[in-house]
Structure 1
Amino acid sequence: MLSRNFRLQRVGNLDWLERHYNFSHISFFIDELVVLDVTRKKRDFYSFCETLRHLSRGCFMPIAVGGGIRNLDQARELLRSGADKIVVNTPVFDHPEFVSQLVSEFGQQCVVASLDLKKNSEGTYQICVDSGSRMLEDSASKWIKQILKQSVGELYLNSIDRDGTGQGYDFSILDQLPSNLPVPVVLAGGAGNAQHLATGIADCRVDAVATAHLFNFIGDGLEKARKELIASGIELPLWISPINDQQMILIQ
């Protein structure tokens, strides 16, 4: 599934992914794969773990995984199934003690706080949880300050308004961050071409950029986007492919 403004649209099942994507090859074009279970009804956790095991076979890149994780046993099973990081969203706000347990058990570098921001009718940003169905009171900036006290390792900032549109990132959501942010920031929601990625990377508040659009809808979009970024002078990590020399962006 892929979302557009958090409305889901089907892309393909696991068989479709295996036919169209060779992750051991794609890993030489990106830095990290983010896999989120966006199921809106009852989740099948063990089926998700099995899917993760399939995706991670021969996969060169790190994988961050999230969606419905509510206890340490689930996190542990996902890590055993191929995940390198655990992504948490709703628990960051509703159960901060659980997030603290994750950090204590697996280390700060393993825990990513995923924040979905949406502009309200007054033009200010608030955070949505429960797959975007519930908007929290208080401003996004106030919540972010609270989240940083939980010692998470990264912030994954996603714009609901730009999600899946391919119209470019909403850089205004970065204004919600404190000036002395102690952890890396991944910017998501809206990237549709290499220039969008380049603009995101150029912002000093951003450590990584994410795209699902280029991965799902534009064939060799990731490869072409990376070549454009390198040609424009952007320095990216160099990974040596057994097929040919390539360089690696972050995808959702």
Structure 2
Amino acid sequence: MGCACCATSWLPDPALSDMLKKRLVFTLLYDGGSFMLSRNFRLQKVGDLRWLQRHYDFSRIAFHIDELIVLDVTRGVRDPVRFCDTLKALTEGCFVPIAAGGGVRSLEHARQLLRSGADKVVINTALHEQPDLAVELAEDFGQQCVVGAVDLRRDADGQPRAWVDRGMRALPGSALDAMAWLRKPHIGELYLNSMDRDGTGQGYDMGLLDLVAPHCSVPIILAGGVGNALHLLAGLADARVDAAATAHLFNFIGDGLARARQQIVAAGQTMASWPPASSLGAAA
């Protein structure tokens, strides 16, 4: 698993956990063997696992992000076994917590993801169609293991509505009606994603926080719209946001994630800091 195999000697003192304020999250979108760019939930193929490993050395990126989220957004028939194999390859040497999801509808599916290197399970559509699943996941794996994801798109009148089935079906009623599960103690985190801003590089839809945050008692990961490090910083600067996520592969290729974190820290945002990878190797 991502964080289970970390060398504990360099991890922050648990007594200081309250001081670790904010997190930077990198999200990967997977579709049938390829990794994708998404714009308003329209997917564009970028490359396969070999392309990803060639451009992103996750053993090093792990020192510049706080969490990796991998979502199976396959538009056709999903192949959970193939996705789990890809997850195993991704998590090798990546010493950060990893959340994975996409089409999770059973405890067994969740177990497969956890056995393949995930530390947390992301569920979306099942929150609405199988509300008991979140309860079962929390009972079996712990509430902290369950990440509830919600995709919001604004109607013509500007009001957000929740969408499911990979953004292909709107739920009836208001967004808050659809998110009644937020009031139940079975979700450890909320992944709050704007479909309108997704892939646009225009920055987060901060207005979604006004709607959701007053009803949410768990940490919020804000997603959708990042085009540069300043957008990440804007999200993290909001007291209601615990983590800022980006899924934009090209904006943060090479040392992009390292530079983004440096900008965020330089701006005064409190984040966890890790020693250089070279010093860990020497200590080992």
Per the normalisation by structure 1, the TM-score is: 0.93
Q: What displacement does 1:123 show? A: 1.4
- List alignment gaps of at least 5 residues for structure 1: 246-252
Cα deviation per residue 1:44-76 (whole Å; 9 max; x = unaligned)? 110000000000101111100010111111110
Aligned-partner residue type, residue 174 of structure 2? S
Alignment correspondent of 1:165: 200
Q: What displacement does 1:178 show? A: 4.8
Q: Find the partner of 2:54 among 11, 14, 19.
A: 19
Alpha-carbon distance in structure 1 between the residues aligned to 2:160 and 2:61: 34
Q: What displacement does 1:243 show? A: 2.9
Is residue 82 of structure 1 aligned with residue 140 of structure 2? no
1:31-110 counterparts in 2 under 5 A? Answer: 31-110=66-145
Alpha-carbon distance in structure 2 between the residues aligned to 1:222 and 1:243: 18
Is residue 216 of structure 1 aligned with residue 250 of structure 2? yes
- RMSD over aligned CA atoms reads 1.5
Alpha-carbon distance in structure 2 between the residues aligned to 1:94 and 1:119: 22
Cα deviation per residue 1:199-242 (whole Å; 9 max; x = unaligned)? 101111111000112x4344222111111111111111011122
Aligned-partner residue type, residue 162 of structure 2? I
Contact 1:145 1:178 in 2 (8 A): no
Alpha-carbon distance in structure 1 between the residues aligned to 2:114 and 2:77: 22
Indicate how the Cα distance of structure 1 residues 97 and 197 shifts in structure 2: closer, same or farther if over 3 A, else same: same
Contact 2:191 2:221 in 1 (8 A): yes
Cα deviation per residue 1:72-113 (whole Å; 9 max; x = unaligned)? 111101101100000000000111011111111111000000
Aligned-partner residue type, residue 46 of structure 1? V
Q: Find the partner of 1:228 among 247, 263, 273.
A: 263
Cα deviation per residue 1:150-175 (whole Å; 9 max; x = unaligned)? 52101000000000111100011112
- List alignment gaps of at least 5 residues for structure 2: 1-35
Alpha-carbon distance in structure 1 between the residues aligned to 2:251 and 2:242: 24
Higher mean C-alpha displacement, 32-41 vs 150-159 = 150-159
Alpha-carbon distance in structure 2 between the residues aligned to 1:150 and 1:132: 25
Contact 1:166 1:190 in 2 (8 A): yes
Is residue 121 of structure 1 aligned with residue 149 of structure 2? no
- Structure 1 ranges of 4+ moved more than 4 A: none
Q: What displacement does 1:15 show? A: 1.0
Aligned-partner residue type, residue 154 of structure 2? K
Is residue 155 of structure 1 aligned with residue 173 of structure 2? no
Contact 2:143 2:188 in 1 (8 A): yes
Aligned-partner residue type, residue 216 of structure 1? F
- Percent of residue pairs bearing the same amino acid type: 54
Aligned-partner residue type, residue 66 of structure 1? G
Per the normalisation by structure 2, the TM-score is: 0.83
Alpha-carbon distance in structure 2 between the residues aligned to 1:143 and 1:150: 16
Q: In structure 2, the residue corresponding to 1:177 is in which secondary structure?
A: helix
Aligned-partner residue type, residue 167 of structure 2? G
Q: What displacement does 1:244 show? A: 6.7
Contact 1:96 1:150 in 2 (8 A): no
Contact 1:99 1:150 in 2 (8 A): no
Q: Find the partner of 1:137 among 149, 153, 172.
A: 172
Alpha-carbon distance in structure 1 between the residues aligned to 2:183 and 2:214: 13
Contact 2:213 2:240 in 1 (8 A): no
**Count of residues in correspondence between the two structures:** 244
Alignment correspondent of 2:274: 239
Is residue 206 of structure 1 aligned with residue 241 of structure 2? yes
Q: What displacement does 1:148 show? A: 2.7
Alignment correspondent of 2:63: 28
Indicate how the Cα distance of structure 1 residues 127 and 164 shifts in structure 2: closer, same or farther if over 3 A, else same: same
Alignment correspondent of 2:224: 189
Alpha-carbon distance in structure 2 between the residues aligned to 1:144 and 1:44: 28
Indicate how the Cα distance of structure 1 residues 141 and 175 shifts in structure 2: closer, same or farther if over 3 A, else same: farther
